[in-house]
Each structure stands twice: as structure tokens, then as C-alpha cells.
Amino acid sequence: MIAKIIDEYLVYLTAERGMSENTIAAYQNDILRFAAYLKEKSLTDITQMDKYCLKNYLAYLLQLNLSAATCARNVASLKSFLKFLFTEKYIAKNLSAEISGPKKEQVLPKFLTIEEVDHLLSLPKVSTIMGCRDKAMLELLYATGVRVSELISLHISDLNFEMAYVRCLGKGGKERIIPMGDLAIQAVNHYIQHCRRQVDGHQETDVLFLNHRGKKLTRQGFWKIIKKYGREAGFSIELTPHVLRHSFATHLLQNGADLRAIQEMLGHADIATTQIYTHLLYEQLLDEYDKAHPRA
């Protein structure tokens, strides 16, 4: 019974909420954990749930020593599931209002300096096919701030070199247009013209970035690539795709870009998500004040 309801819920997240595959996978894991807990407590009839059952489950989550962010997401998943159950009349009362979880701790994103980005982008050996591809990927990632899932899903037809933009399909299937700088255009165009055709195996595929077998590059494959360059660069922070995304946003803001424009380019649904970058600038301002002011 519960398994069938969970399947219906996942369809609802896809068809009506328009959530991305990654978000749906996370919600699915969270709800399956909740279902396993109910089974362990011999509660097989979902209509028997009450607020005490839910509060006991939240206490159980805390015992697992999950991070505040993971706990917060589990609570969000559960509240969404409970609303679905109420809407679909599986339960008589909307129990989502009965629960609350820990606030997600706000962690300021890590980013590279402009000099560090320049160093990183100089590392790929463009004389090799894979180095040429890596240079194009890293340049495009920093030039546009796209997510990894968006980067590896790009097609050649998504690029407009003449108008200098890339068309990107983001979370919830929302399309956005992001400008590309000259250096990114040069790197990607060089890759397409001189390197990509040597690995595509004449498959007639329009996918932009391919692995050495001529297949679409995977998320895991890209993570391995960026980790390799991170080790080679020797940065003090761990290099991840999101570090480049954060660097993109931070450098734009430092150089006077409008926060709303950055929100649009990043694909944030809420301006509050983008505003975290203003905290970074405030932190830098305090550092400069402490260094320079005689009475700091």
C-alpha cells in the first residue's frame, strides 16, 4: 500500500511540481527512509499516523547524526509528502503543520580568486583531445555559472556563437539564456572544430561534451576531471563544480553586476538564494577594515 502511494507521489513531483531528477531522487530516498521507519514500528496503515508518530520520527533522524542540511531536507520532503497524502485524501488531516525541523545552517560558499581561476584555466593541455575538451568545459563553466547537470546536458545547438550566449535548461525544466565571454567562445569553438569530431565516432550526436569513447560525459566523469585539476592546481580549498559556480557569481558581484541579473543567470527561483553572495562581500569588507583601520 505504502509503496504504491510513494510511486504516485513521485509521479506527482515530476508531472505537477516539475522537480528535477536529482531533487526527486533525494525526496524519494527521504520518503523511503520514513517508510522503513514506519515498517520497523509495525505501522503498515498510513492512516494511523499522528503527530506523535511524526515527532518520534524527527527524534529518530537526530539520532542518526545527520547534518543540519540533510535533516532540513528530510523534513521538507516529509512535509511535502504529508501535504500530498492530505490532498489525495489518503489522510483526513494535514499533518505537515505539525512538524518542524532544524534550520539549515547557512554556510558561505567557497570560491576562487580571479588569479586562481586564471591558473586553473591554464592547466588543461590543449594539444591533446581531452585537454582541449577540458579547457572548453572549464572555460564554459566559469563563464556561465551553470550547474554540472546543465553543463553535461548541453547540445551544440544550444550555443549561439554569433550572439555570444548559451541556452540552458535548468531545474524544473526552466530555460534561461546566459551570455558567454570571448575566451569561453574561443575554447568551445576550438573544441568543436578540432577535437570533438575525433571522438564522436560519427554517431551524429548533438551532445556537446563527450568522453573518450564518444559517449555523453557523465556527472561522475566530470567530477573526476575537476578533482584531477584541483589536485594539480594545489588550491587551499577543495575544487568542486560548485566552487566555479560560486566564483562566477562572486566575481560578477565584485565587479558591479546587478544581483537580479546574477539571479537570472544562476537560475535561482528566489532572490534570497542569490543574496548569500552579498554576505561574502561583507566578509571581505570586514577583513579589509580590520587590516586597514588603525582602531579596528
Helix (H) or strand (E) holding 167: strand 165-169
pLDDT of residue 201: 63
> Taking a C-beta distance cutoff of 8 angstroms, is the pair 117, 248 a contact?
no
147 is catalytic: yes
Cα 173 from chain centroid (whole Å): 14
104 is catalytic: no
> Taking a C-beta distance cutoff of 8 angstroms, is the pair 164, 179 a contact?
yes
Mean pLDDT of 14-25: 79
17 is catalytic: no
- Tens-digit pLDDT profile for residues 250-269: 999 888 889 999 999 999 88
* Residue 75 in grid coordinates: 523534513
277 is catalytic: yes
The predicted model scores a pTM of: 0.68
Confidence tier at 63 by pLDDT (50, 70, 90): confident
* Residue 91 in grid coordinates: 489522510
Catalytic residue among 147, 196, 246, 251: 147
> Terminus-to-terminus CA distance in the chain, angstroms?
64
Local structure of residue 176 (DSSP, 8 states): E
Whether 282 has a pLDDT exceeding 80, the answer reads no
pLDDT of residue 232: 95
Enumerate the domain spans of the chain.
2-98, 114-290
Residue 160's SS3 state is: strand
Mean pLDDT of 43-54: 81
Local structure of residue 191 (DSSP, 8 states): I
CA atoms within 13 A on the CB side of 215: 5
Confidence tier at 65 by pLDDT (50, 70, 90): confident
The topology (CATH level 3) of 114-290 is hpI Integrase; Chain A (1.10.443)
Find the helix packing angle between 21-40 and 51-63, rounded to 10°: 110
pLDDT of residue 189: 96
pLDDT of residue 103: 58
> Taking a C-beta distance cutoff of 8 angstroms, is the pair 245, 266 a contact?
yes
Mean confidence (pLDDT) of the chain: 87
Stronger pLDDT, 232 or 22, i.e. the higher one: 232
d(CA 218, CA 151): 10
* Residue 93 in grid coordinates: 488531516
Whether 47 has a pLDDT exceeding 80, the answer reads no
119 is catalytic: no
d(CA 43, CA 155): 48
174 is catalytic: no
d(CA 19, CA 80): 12
Residue partners of 252: CB distance under 8 A and separation at least 6:
261, 262, 265
265 closest CA partner among 189, 199, 205, 175: 175
Q: How far apart, in Å, are the Cα atoms of 64 and each of 30, 81, 184? A: 13, 21, 44
Q: What are phi and psi of 249, to 5 degrees?
A: -70, -45
Whether 145 has a pLDDT exceeding 90, the answer reads yes
> Taking a C-beta distance cutoff of 8 angstroms, is the pair 82, 94 a contact?
yes
pLDDT of residue 49: 82
Whether 161 has a pLDDT exceeding 90, the answer reads yes
Confidence tier at 98 by pLDDT (50, 70, 90): confident
Whether 295 has a pLDDT exceeding 80, the answer reads no
Catalytic residue among 73, 245, 246, 251: 245
Local structure of residue 155 (DSSP, 8 states): B
- Tens-digit pLDDT profile for residues 99-131: 775 555 566 788 999 999 999 999 999 999 999
Mean pLDDT of 211-218: 90
Catalytic residue among 9, 57, 142, 277: 277
d(CA 107, CA 22): 21
Catalytic residue among 33, 167, 171, 176: 171
CATH of domain 2-98: 1.10.150.130
